[in-house]
C-alpha cells in the first residue's frame, strides 16, 4: 500500500517535470524484448510475449497523446527478423494485421493519429499488406498527429532504396551519371526516404537493455538523443516513458545546421 502510494507520488512528480520542460516532437521506439519476456514469464509459446508487446502499443500511444508527442515511430519487425521460424512469423503477422485493423476501425482508439507503415512491404504476406493499406486509407484524414510503424524495416535497406529511387528518377529526367555525382547532396537522398515529410526523431528509446540502435532510422538519427531502458518491452511502464522524456529535457542541446533536414530543427548534445 505504502509502496503504491510512493510510486504514484513519484510518477506525478515526474509528469510535472516533463510537462514543464521540452517535450520531443518525434519519438522513435525500438520495441525489444518480447521473446525474452516470454521466457522469463515461463510462457508455453514465445508468441505470447509478442501478444503482450502488441497490447503495450496502445498504452504507449495513449501516453504520447496525453503528453503532447505528435509523432511516434515504432519498430515492430526488422528485415533481419524475417529470418525467424515460420510459426513465429505467422503469429507476428497475425498480430500486426489485427493491430492495424483496430486502428482502421476505431480512429478515436488510435488517438486520432494518421497511421503509416514504413519498410519493404514486398517482403510481407499479402494479407498483411492488405491490412496495412486499409489502415492507411481509413486514417488518411486523421491527424495532425502521426503513428508510423516500421515493419520489414532496416536502416541500411531504407538508404539503399532511397538511393535507388533517386538514381532512377534522375535518369528518367535525362540526367547523366556524371551530373548526378557532381551535384548530389544529402538533402536530395532524404527526399527519397520512406517518409520524407516526417521530421527526424528527437528521441529514440530502446527497451530490453540493449545498447545499440541496430540500424533503426539510421539516416534520420544522426542528431537524435538516445535513451536505453533495461525493462523488456511488455514490461515498459508509463513511469519508464516519463523518465525517458525527463532525460531528454534535461540534456543541454544546441541547434545544428547540419541536422535541420526537411525544415525540422535538430540539435546535438553538448558534451
In degrees and rounded to multiples of 5, residue 117 shows phi and psi of: -115, 135
pLDDT at 268: 33
Of 58, 65, 81, 161, the active-site residue reads 81
Q: Which three cell numbers stand for residue 93?
A: 503477422
Q: SS3 for 99-137, per residue?
A: HHHHHHHCCCCCCCCEEEEECCHHHCCHHHHHHHHHHHH
206 part of a folded domain = yes
pLDDT at 184: 94
167 part of a folded domain = no
32 part of a folded domain = yes
233 part of a folded domain = yes
Closest CA to 251 of 230, 228, 225: 225
139 part of a folded domain = yes
- All residue ranges of the chain with pLDDT < 50 are 110, 255-261, 263-271
> What is the end-to-end Cα distance of the chain in Å, rounded?
42
Residue 34 a catalytic site member: no
Q: Which residue has the cell 526537411?
A: 262
Q: What is the CATH number of the domain that holds 225?
A: 3.40.1180.10
pTM for the whole structure? 0.90
Contacts of 254 (CB under 8 A, 6+ apart): 267, 268, 270
Of 32, 48, 145, 235, the active-site residue reads 32
pLDDT at 108: 52
What Cα–Cα distance (Å) separates residue 193 from each residue in 9, 109, 189, 271? Answer: 43, 29, 7, 30
Residue 65 a catalytic site member: no
Domains contained in the chain, number:
1
Q: Which three cell numbers stand for residue 178?
A: 556524371
177 part of a folded domain = no
192 part of a folded domain = no
Q: Which three cell numbers stand for residue 146?
A: 502521426
Domain range for residue 90? Answer: 23-154+199-248
Distance of alpha carbon 107 from alpha carbon 139, whole angstroms: 7
185 part of a folded domain = no
Amino acid at each position: 500500500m505504502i509502496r503504491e502510494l510512493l510510486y504514484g507520488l513519484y510518477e506525478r512528480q515526474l509528469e510535472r517535470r516533463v510537462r514543464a520542460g521540452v517535450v520531443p516532437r518525434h519519438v522513435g521506439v525500438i520495441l525489444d524484448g518480447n521473446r525474452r519476456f516470454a521466457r522469463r514469464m515461463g510462457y508455453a509459446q514465445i508468441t505470447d510475449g509478442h501478444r503482450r508487446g502488441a497490447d503495450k502499443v496502445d498504452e504507449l500511444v495513449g501516453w504520447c497523446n496525453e503528453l503532447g508527442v505528435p509523432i511516434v515511430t515504432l519498430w515492430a519487425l526488422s528485415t533481419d527478423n524475417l529470418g525467424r521460424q515460420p510459426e513465429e512469423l505467422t503469429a507476428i503477422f497475425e498480430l500486426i494485421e489485427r493491430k492495424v485493423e483496430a486502428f482502421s476501425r476505431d480512429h478515436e482508439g488510435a488517438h486520432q493519429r494518421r497511421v503509416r507503415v514504413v519498410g519493404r512491404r514486398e517482403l510481407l504476406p499479402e494479407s498483411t499488406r492488405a491490412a496495412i493499406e486499409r489502415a492507411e486509407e481509413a486514417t488518411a484524414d486523421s491527424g495532425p498527429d502521426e503513428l508510423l510503424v516500421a515493419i520489414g524495416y532496416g536502416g541500411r535497406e531504407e538508404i539503399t532504396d532511397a538511393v535507388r529511387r533517386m538514381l532512377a528518377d534522375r535518369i528518367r529526367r535525362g540526367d547523366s551519371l556524371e551530373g548526378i555525382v557532381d551535384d548530389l547532396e544529402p538533402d536530395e537522398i532524404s527526399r527519397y526516404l520512406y517518409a520524407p515529410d516526417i521530421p527526424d526523431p528527437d528521441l529514440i528509446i530502446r527497451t530490453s537493455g540493449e545498447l545499440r540502435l541496430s540500424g533503426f532510422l539510421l539516416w534520420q538519427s544522426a542528431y537524435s538523443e538516445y535513451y536505453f531502458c533495461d525493462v523488456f518491452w511488455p514490461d515498459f511502464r508509463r513511469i519508464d516513458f516519463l523518465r525517458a522524456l525527463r532525460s531528454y529535457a534535461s540534456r543541454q542541446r544546441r541547434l545544428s545546421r547540419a541536422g535541420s533536414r526537411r525544415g525540422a530543427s535538430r540539435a546535438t548534445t553538448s558534451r
